[in-house]
Amino acid sequence: MPTTCVFQLDRLNPGYNSGEYISGRILLRTDKVKRVNAVYVTLEGEAKVQWSMSGKSETANYSGHQQYLHSRTNVFDNSLFRAGVHVYVLTLRIPPDCPSTCKGPYGYIAYHLSLTIDKPWGFDEVFKKPINVVQTLDLNYNPEFTLPVKDENIKYLCHWPCISGPISSTLALPASGFTPLQEVPFRLEVDNQSPHYDINAVEVSIKQHFVFLSRNPVKRNFYTKTLVKELIADRTLRLSKRQYESSICVPMDTPRSTLNPNYIVFIHYTLQVKLKTGCFHYDTDLSVPIIVGTTSLQHLRNSVHTHQPARRTTTPERQRLIERVTPRPPTVEEETAAEAAATTTDEPHQALDDDEPPSYDSCLPPSFSFATLAGSQQTLGSNHAVVLQRIHLPKFPGFSTLIGTAPAHGMEDSGLDMHMYRSYGSLDTDHTGRSLDTFGSLCGPLSEHVEEQEHEVEAETEAEAEEEAETLDVTAQVHQVAAARAQVAEAEEDLLDEHLF
């Protein structure tokens, strides 16, 4: 059976803030004695960037690497590693200046916890557990994040001699610092002095901007991603003014803004507004920078949600489809006719109706239009909306994070009861070697799964002891019966000898 390793951390979702401690334990199972140099646990955090650009005659490759965290703790230093289940309790600290976990098309920032079996020959056995790190950023400590931000733009449609009046627009935010699941309120003022064109709609979005820095050779690469987008269908007619006041929510899994420009993976955000003019004209863009942190501003904490709001922009096509699928409510005449028919119906007819075969109309499959709107409409025959609760697992980077990981099943094998022992990473045992300051020397509370395994092992041991005791009792009884029979045989022989003589 191959070597297996199970990481049991103190959190179901392995997500930690910078500056926090990672607590848990590692269960390492081996089926035979191994000759090793050492067994150690490492906590690493790094950033990597890589891309290539092809020219007419050659291709240029760009790459960069930056190490944010590397801590190693030896848990075994001897040469012979015994077979069985080894339990290592850990307590590791994440530095407070580590950037948040993120992933882009040309690079990533990732953290992982690993256990390595260093062999004197062959390949090392490495087991990795990816974790998410969120850099803490309290927006109340920097007064610049509380100041309002503003952007203005003036645009002329067409050119001389058909030039139109100016379209003046102003975008304003009450502050620049926000947190995930928080509403970003904005105010847009539009003064349309064009005599020929209307502003058909306004598109609001939150943009995520990546900056990747290559060190060999030095070059920057950029990438922009739209996190959330909403459409305001209210029009601004020609030669008129209009003011829009609304808000847009920051998604829940948004990485925090990077404030250190020396990192090779840099993230910043903007709120962008587009004025849809149509008629083959370019849209008017307004954008203001926003900072995404972990602790919201004191005067804007009322706009923070506890879950991601499900908000969808209703287009005219979707609205017509909803009206087509939604059943029409009965009119007053239909309700009156139905009540009159119900009152005039006698009981024999009701009995006949009850004897009729059931109708299978409700079992028919839904139409395509109804199925496409199943997420926003209620299901067939339901009187209330069904709310599904899902566990929000952390989004790990898409690169390979598991190297040589064996399956974790089989820990409940009862054949390990004779070889099971614990290695707690302390100086008092000869199996674990030395322990550094970042490695715990005490055993924490066992999980329910491991406690059940220990109870099963104890129950099996007690059952075997009882079986052995019963076997010993039966053997003693057999010996006693044999001895009694021997004594009876001897007594009969003595009586026979006396009778003959």
In the sheet that holds 4-9, the strands lie side by side as 4-9, 21-30, 84-93
Residue 28's CATH number: 2.60.40.640
Contact 138, 158 (CB under 8 A): no
- Average pLDDT of the chain, as a whole number: 75
Across the range 260-278, mean pLDDT stands at 93
Residue 57 in this model has a pLDDT that exceeds 90:
no
Across the range 362-374, mean pLDDT stands at 51
Q: Give the separation between CA 467 and CA 458, rounded to whole angstroms.
A: 14
Q: Which residues pair with 93 in a beta bridge?
A: 21
Question: Is the same domain home to 267 and 118?
Answer: no
pTM of the model: 0.62
Residue 105 in this model has a pLDDT that exceeds 60:
yes
DSSP, collapsed to helix, strand or coil, labels residue 207 as: strand
Question: Is the same domain home to 230 and 127?
Answer: no
Q: Measuring CA to CA, how many Å separate 90 from each of 8, 50, 101, 452? A: 10, 34, 22, 22
DSSP, collapsed to helix, strand or coil, labels residue 26 as: strand
- Band (pLDDT 50/70/90 cuts) for residue 310 is low
pLDDT at position 12 is 82
- H or E, element range at 478: helix 448-500
In a domain? residue 103? yes
- H or E, element range at 332: helix 332-344
Domain boundary among 267, 300, 333: 300
- Band (pLDDT 50/70/90 cuts) for residue 393 is very low
Question: Is the same domain home to 73 and 156?
Answer: no
In a domain? residue 378? no
Question: Is the same domain home to 160 and 130?
Answer: no
Which region among 3-7, 178-182, 278-282, 452-456 has the lowest average model confidence (pLDDT)?
452-456
The residue that leads in pLDDT, 296 or 418, is 296
pLDDT at position 434 is 34
Contact 294, 141 (CB under 8 A): no
Question: Is the same domain home to 178 and 146?
Answer: yes
In a domain? residue 89? yes
Question: Is the same domain home to 174 and 278?
Answer: yes
Per-residue pLDDT tens digits for 471-493: 656 566 666 767 777 776 777 66
Question: Is the same domain home to 233 and 271?
Answer: yes
Q: Total structural domains in the chain?
A: 2
Per-residue pLDDT tens digits for 207-262: 999 999 999 899 999 999 999 999 999 999 999 999 999 999 999 889 999 999 88
In a domain? residue 218? yes
In a domain? residue 448? no
Contact 112, 99 (CB under 8 A): no
Across the range 340-350, mean pLDDT stands at 51
Considering only CA atoms, which of 437, 455, 439 is closest in space to residue 447? 455
Residue 486, phi then psi, degrees to nearest 5? -65, -40
Question: Is the same domain home to 242 and 219?
Answer: yes
Question: What distance, in Å, lies between the first and last C-alpha atoms of the chain?
Answer: 75
Across the range 132-158, mean pLDDT stands at 92
Residue 338 in this model has a pLDDT that exceeds 80:
no
For residues 347-383, one letter each, b for 16 or more C-beta atoms within 10 angstroms of the residue's C-beta and e for the rest, the string is: eeeeeeeeeeeeeeeeeeeeeeebeebeeebeeeeee
For residue 25, with 0-12 CB atoms within 10 Å meaning exposed, 13-18 middle and 19 or more buried, which class applies?
Answer: buried
Domain boundary among 84, 105, 136: 136
In a domain? residue 397? no
Domain boundary among 76, 101, 136: 136
Q: Give the separation between CA 64 and CA 401, rounded to whole angstroms.
A: 19
> Residue 278 sits in which domain range?
140-300
Q: Give the separation between CA 237 and CA 190, rounded to whole angstroms.
A: 10
In a domain? residue 451? no
Q: Give the separation between CA 437 and CA 439, rounded to whole angstroms.
A: 6
Question: Is the same domain home to 207 and 164?
Answer: yes
Question: Is the same domain home to 166 and 295?
Answer: yes
In a domain? residue 426? no
Question: Is the same domain home to 146 and 267?
Answer: yes
Question: Is the same domain home to 206 and 293?
Answer: yes
